[in-house]
Amino acid sequence: MTIRTALLGYGRSGSTMHAGAIEGCDAYEMAAVCDIDPQRRAQAAERFGCPTYADHHEMLRTEELDLMCVITRSDQHCAMTCDGLAAGVDVLVTKPWAANATEGERMIDAAADSGRKLLPWLPARWGCDLRRLQQLVAAGAIGRPFLARRVVSSFGTRNDWQTERRYAGGYLLNWGAHIVDPPLVLLGGQVQSVYGCMRQMMNPGDVEDLFMAVMTLTDGTIVQAEYTISVEEMPTWIVQGDEGTISVRGLDLSVHRSTAKAPDDPTQFATMQSEGTTVTHERLVGDPYGDQHEIYAELAQALRGEIAPPVTPDQALTLSRLFDAIRLSSEENRVVTLEQK
């Protein structure tokens, strides 16, 4: 079975990450491309030799499709996804799959009504850093983890729709799938409460260009996720355990392992730096944001019913509810407790 696929949105992400993966996997056939820009439509027609459309409604009426990939502006994801599902087509929707949990619930309902598959795009779950960290934590490399920090830092500005609230812009929605989700996947726990801080520091527009979220899991483990502005690149991961610490900078990973010892004399204060620390270094291989070719190959198996979908709508909805809680916490300057499902 060849999966007849339409690409809705042929901009920077659609024309590179998604189109390249579809093009490179024999399971898919690029059946149509839709974009409002006539120049992009011309580029897609030349590249794929397929029909192109300026309006996705016309495309859905005209083409016999198995899958539609929604790679458009964030505020358009929900409506376009529901349109595709209602037309009897499976839908992959890029991050953020929804602007908020209400939209996520609407899409889940649309998928249930149509009987079609809804596939949220969370590529960092395939990231080489997350996978290696999962291996190390499972092997007990740092004992019991009690705190994980995930940071992306940059120093620059942008001046596009991502700076405007009306388009569901802002760095929480744009980067949250890459920053908030992976450490939660690593530690495998539910978020009990969150304190969020969001600020607009350098970009124009009316949304945040940095955010921080401190999340307490039901087992007491702490996760700190942050997009920040910094000239000096910061560590992308720090995972702390009761027998060591893992740090990651880009593709460079280090494991510092030791066992803290109490002093023989209880009246004496133990050294603040344990002795006998061992340090190992390694260079990660792969992409921290996932290999789109690998992801699309797995998605093809899921679309054919051979495996379960690697990311479920319920998982994406849980993440949307967490984003909503981070935003509410920042707006009201308080800790927000999440309802346990």
What interhelical angle do 101-114 and 77-86 show, nearest 10? 10
Segment 19-23 mean pLDDT: 97
Q: What is the mean pLDDT of residues 52-56?
A: 98
pLDDT, residue 273, reads: 55
pLDDT at residue 189, as a whole number:
83
* Pick from 203, 197, 213: nearest CA to 165: 203
Cα–Cα nearest to 231, from 152, 155, 146, 340: 155
pLDDT of 194 higher than 90: yes
Question: What DSSP state is assigned to residue 102?
Answer: H
Q: List the beta bridge partners of residue 148.
A: 223, 239
% residues pLDDT > 70 (the chain)? 95
Quote the CA–CA distance of 36 and 14 in Å, as a whole number: 13
For residues 38-44, average pLDDT: 98
CB 78 within 8 A of CB 99: yes
pLDDT at residue 218 tops 80: yes
> Looking at the predicted structure, is the pLDDT value of residue 146 above 70?
yes
Q: What's the pLDDT score for residue 164? A: 97
- Residue 88 near residue 65 (C-beta atoms within 8 A): no
The CA distance from 216 to 67, in Å, is: 38
Phi/psi for 28 (5° steps) reads: -115, 150
What is the chain's alpha carbon radius of gyration, rounded to the nearest angstrom? 22
Q: The pTM is what?
A: 0.95
Instruction: Find, among 196, 227, 200, the residue nearest to 330 by Cα.
Output: 196
- Taking only the tens place, the pLDDT of each residue in 299-340 is 999 999 999 999 999 999 999 999 999 999 999 999 999 988
- pLDDT score of 339: 87
pLDDT at 274: 56
What average pLDDT does the structure give for the chain?
A: 95
Instruction: Decide: 302 and 308 in contact? Cβ < 8 Å.
Output: yes
The length of the chain, given as a count of residues: 341
Six-digit token pair at 162? 């991502």
Q: What is the pLDDT of residues 251-267, one digit of tens each?
A: 999 999 987 766 666 66
Please tell me the distance from the alpha carbon of residue 138 to that of residue 93, in angstroms, as a whole number. Answer: 31
- Measured CA to CA, the distance from residue 98 to residue 72 in angstroms comes to 12
Phi, psi of 84 (to 5 degrees): -65, -45
Residue 278: pLDDT over 80: yes
Residue range 91-140, pLDDT digits in tens: 999 999 999 999 999 999 999 999 999 999 999 999 999 999 999 999 99
Residue 73 pLDDT greater than 70, yes or no: yes
Residue 277 binned pLDDT confidence (cut-offs 50, 70, 90) = confident
